[in-house]
Amino acid sequence: MSREQKAVDRARKAFSTGRSKPLEYRLQQLKSLRRLFVERQKDIADAMMKDLRKSEFSTPLYETMGLEGEIDLAVSHLKEWAAPRPVAKNLMTISDQVYVQPEPLGVVLIIGAWNYPWAVTIQPLIGAMAAGNAAVVKPSEVSAHTAKVMEELLPLYVDKELYPVVTGGVAETQELLKQRFDHIFYTGNSVVGKVVMEAASRHLTPVTLELGGKSPCYIDKNCNISIACRRIAWGKFTNCGQTCIAPDYILCDPSIQDLVVEEIRQNVKEFYTENPKTCPDYGRIVNQRHYRRVMSMLDGCTVAVGGDGDESDCYIAPTVLCDVKPDAKVMQEEIFGPLLPILTVGSVDKAIDFINQREKPLALYIYSHDSKLIKRFISETSSGGVVANDCLVQFSVSALPFGGVGNSGMGAYHGKHTFDQLSHLRGCLIKQLKMEGVNKLRYPPHTAKKLGWARFLILKQVDLGQMKRLAMLAIFAVIAAAVYQRFLQ
Domain match, 201 and 224 both: no
CA distance 228 to 219: 8
Residue 406's pLDDT is 95
CA distance 411 to 447: 46
- DSSP class of residue 361 equals P
Residue 163 dihedral angles phi and psi, to the nearest 5°? -130, 65
484, part of any domain: yes
Show pLDDT as tens, one digit a residue, over the chain (489 residues): 899 999 999 999 999 999 999 999 999 999 999 999 999 999 999 999 999 999 988 999 999 999 999 999 999 999 999 999 999 998 888 889 999 999 999 999 999 999 999 999 999 999 999 999 999 999 999 999 999 999 999 999 999 999 999 999 999 999 999 999 999 999 999 999 999 999 999 999 999 999 999 999 999 999 999 999 999 999 999 999 999 999 999 999 999 999 999 999 999 999 999 999 999 999 999 999 999 999 999 999 999 999 999 999 999 999 999 999 999 999 999 999 999 999 999 999 999 999 999 999 999 999 999 999 999 999 999 999 999 999 999 999 999 999 999 999 999 999 999 999 999 999 999 999 998 888 888 899 989 888 888 888 888 777 656 656 655 555 555 555 555 455 555
408, part of any domain: no
Domain match, 97 and 17 both: yes
Last residue within a domain, chosen from 424, 456, 478 = 424
Domain match, 338 and 193 both: no
Residue 53 dihedral angles phi and psi, to the nearest 5°? 60, 40
Domain match, 389 and 261 both: yes
Domain match, 200 and 128 both: yes
Domain match, 156 and 22 both: yes
pLDDT tens track for 412-463: 999 999 999 999 999 999 999 998 888 888 899 989 888 888 888 888 777 6
Domain holding 87, by residue range, is: 3-211+414-424
Domain match, 25 and 101 both: yes
For every residue of 46-104, DSSP letters joined together read: HHHHHHH---TTHHIIIIIHHHHHHHHHHHHHHHHHHS-EE--EEGGGTTSEEEEEEEE
Burial class (CB in 10 A: 0-12, 13-18, 19+), 209: buried
CA proximity to 129, closest of 107, 151, 156, 101: 107
Question: Domains in the chain: how many in total?
Answer: 3
Q: Check residue 164 and give left, alpha or beta (phi > 0: left; psi -120 to 50: alpha).
A: beta
349, part of any domain: yes
Domain match, 263 and 336 both: yes
* Residue 129: CATH number of its domain: 3.40.605.10
* Residue 229: CATH number of its domain: 3.40.309.10
132, part of any domain: yes
Task: Answer for the pair 202, 196: CB distance below 8 angstroms, yes or no.
Answer: no
3-state DSSP call for residue 199? Answer: helix
Domain match, 184 and 280 both: no
Task: Answer for the pair 102, 425: CB distance below 8 angstroms, yes or no.
Answer: yes
Residue 221's pLDDT is 96
24, part of any domain: yes
Q: Measure Cα distances from 254 to 106, 325, 370 in Å.
A: 54, 13, 19
Show which residues are catalytic: 210, 244
429, part of any domain: no
359, part of any domain: yes
Domain match, 158 and 271 both: no
Domain match, 53 and 195 both: yes
Domain match, 248 and 361 both: yes
Residue 473's pLDDT is 54
Q: How many CB atoms lie within 10 A of CB 41?
A: 14
42, part of any domain: yes
